[in-house]
Amino acid sequence: MTRTSPSPSATRRFYAAVWRWHFMIGVLVIPFLFLLAFSGLLMLLSKPLDSVLNESLLTVKAVDQPLPATVLLEAVEQRYPHASVKLYLPPEEQDQSARFSLQPHSHAGHGGHHAPSTLVYLNQYTGEVLGDQDPAGSLYSRIKTFHGSLFMGSLGDAFIEIAAGLAVLMIVSGLYLAWPKGGERPQATAKKAGQRECWRRGHLSLGWLIAVPLLFFLISGLAWTNIWGGKIVQPWGSLPGTTYKVQQEIQAPQDIQTVTDHASMNEQGLHRVPWAVEQTPMPESTSGDNTLQLDEVVALAGDLGLGHFRVHFPQGDSGVWTVSATTIAGDIDNPAGERIVHLDQHNGQVLQDIRFADYPVMGKAMAASIPLHQGDLGLWNWFLNVLLVCLIMALIITGALLWWKRQTRRAPPKAETAPARAVGLIMLLVALAFPLSAAAMLGIILLDEVLTARKARRS
C-alpha cells in the first residue's frame, strides 16, 4: 500500500494555519519580548557603569599589609551596633576594598531570607569605613527587578512566564514558515513585493540567525519564574538533601525554628547560592562553647583550596560557617569550579563540601546556563550577549514593522479545515510544557472560536 503525499492545496492550508498562529502569538508576545530584550541590554550595560559610579567605594590605595578580617569586623560592629553581619567578602585584589553585608538584628544570619541588607565597604589596610549602600538599590539590581517582574511582583512574573512560553511557540512556528518548501508557500504571500518584502526577508534572515540563541535566553530565563521554574523544573534539578541533618521544627514560647535551606543565604534582590542547592536543607553544627573567629574561617578556606570566595556567618548555636565560590554570586567565572563548604562553627569540621560535580544533570545545566544568560563568564560573554540582544531587538522590530505595513492589522482569516485544527492541537501540546502559556493558549483558542462563530452568524 503506497502512502500518498499531501496535496499542494492541503500543504498551503497548513502553512496558512501556522502563519495565522505565528501572527496572533507575535502580536501578543512582541511588547513583552521587547521589554525583556531592552532591559536585558540595560542590565549588561549597567554592570560596568555601576563599577564606575562606585569607584570610590570599590578601590583603595594598596600599602604593605592588610588588616586581619577580625579587625575589620570589629570596625563594622562598632560603626553599625544595631545590625548583624551576615556575609564577608574578602578583597580579591590588593587595591580592592573589603565588604561586609549587614542586616537588622531581627533578620540576622541565614534566617534573613530575602531580608533587606546593607553592604559596607572598608579600606582593608586602615579599617576606615568608606561608605555603605543597599545592594538591591543599585542601577543593575533595579533593572534586574524590572527584567524579572516588570515591577509588578508575582503578577509580572506570571506575565513574563506566559510571554516567554508563547515566544518559544512563536519561534517554532517561525522556523517552519521560514523553511524552504519548494514553491508550496501560498502564492498570495510569495508575490508580495516592494518595501514590505524587503522587511520580510530581513526578518526571515534574522530569524534564522538568532532563533537558537533566543530559545536559549527564553528557556534559561524561565528558570527564574515562579511556576515553570520554581515549581516544576527546579525540584528536578535540586541537590538531594538526604545527606544533610535536617533541622526539626521546634516549638518554644513565642518562637518557632523551622528547617533552614540554602535559599535563606539569599538577600532581597540578590542570589548568593546556585539554583541547584536553593531548596537543599542546611547542615547543623554540633554543640560547643568555642566559636571560630573570622580569621580562622578565612584561613581554613585557603587550606581547602578556595581562592575567590565569600564567608556566610552562622546563626545561633546550630548554625554553620559557610564558605562559597559560585558564578551566580560573581565569585568566579567558571561554573565547573563552583563549591560550597559548610564548617562547624565550634570546631571547624567540614560538615558538607558541595561541588559542581555533585549537582544533578538539570542542576549542572542551569549552573552553566544562568551565568551565560547573564553575561557573567567573562568579557567575551558580555560582548556576545550585547550582540545577541541587539539582534533579538532587531528581529522584534522587523516583526512589528511587518505587522504595521500589512493592509489590515487584523489576524489572517481562519481556515475552516482540518489543518487549522491540527495546528491548534500541535501548538497546544507544545505549550503544555509551559503551564501558564498553555492556559493562555487555551484562552486564545476559545476566544478565537467564539469570535469566528459570531462572525459566521452575522454573515
Domain boundaries, the chain: 8-47+142-229+378-458, 60-135, 241-372
What is the model's pLDDT at position 415?
54
Amino acid letter, residue 396? I
Cell numbers 528558570 label which residue? 223
What is the model's pLDDT at position 20?
80
- Contact status, residue 306 vs residue 369, Cβ threshold 8 Å: no
3-state SS, residue 189 = helix
pLDDT in tens, 129-169: 999 999 888 889 899 999 999 999 889 999 999 999 889 88
**CB under 8 Å to 145, separation ≥6 — which residues?**
136, 151, 269
Cell numbers 487584523 label which residue? 410
Closest CA to 72 of 110, 119, 117, 129: 129
Distance CA 110, CA 313 (A): 8
Q: Give whole-number Cα distances, 26 to 137, 188, 207, 410, 448, in Å.
A: 34, 21, 13, 12, 15
Closest CA to 267 of 400, 134, 415: 134
CA dihedral 123, 129, 134, 135 (to 10 degrees): 10
Distance CA 197, CA 255 (A): 69
**pLDDT per residue of the chain (459 residues) written in tens, 0 to 9:** 445 555 556 677 777 778 888 888 888 899 999 999 999 999 999 989 988 989 999 999 998 899 999 999 999 999 999 999 999 999 999 999 999 999 886 554 444 445 678 999 999 999 999 999 998 888 898 999 999 999 998 899 999 999 998 898 889 888 888 887 654 454 444 445 567 778 888 888 999 999 999 999 999 988 888 888 877 777 777 776 434 344 443 333 344 344 578 888 887 767 788 888 888 888 999 887 888 999 999 999 999 999 899 999 998 788 999 999 999 888 999 999 999 999 999 999 999 999 999 998 888 988 899 899 999 998 999 999 999 999 999 999 998 888 887 655 555 655 555 455 665 666 666 666 787 887 887 777 777 677 767 766 776
Cell numbers 544533570 label which residue? 361
Distance CA 86, CA 69 (A): 14
**CB under 8 Å to 417, separation ≥6 — which residues?**
13, 17
Distance CA 158, CA 32 (A): 12
> Does domain 60-135 sit in CATH 3.90.550?
no
Distance CA 34, CA 390 (A): 10
Burial class (CB in 10 A: 0-12, 13-18, 19+), 145: middle
Distance CA 358, CA 370 (A): 18
3-state SS, residue 342 = strand
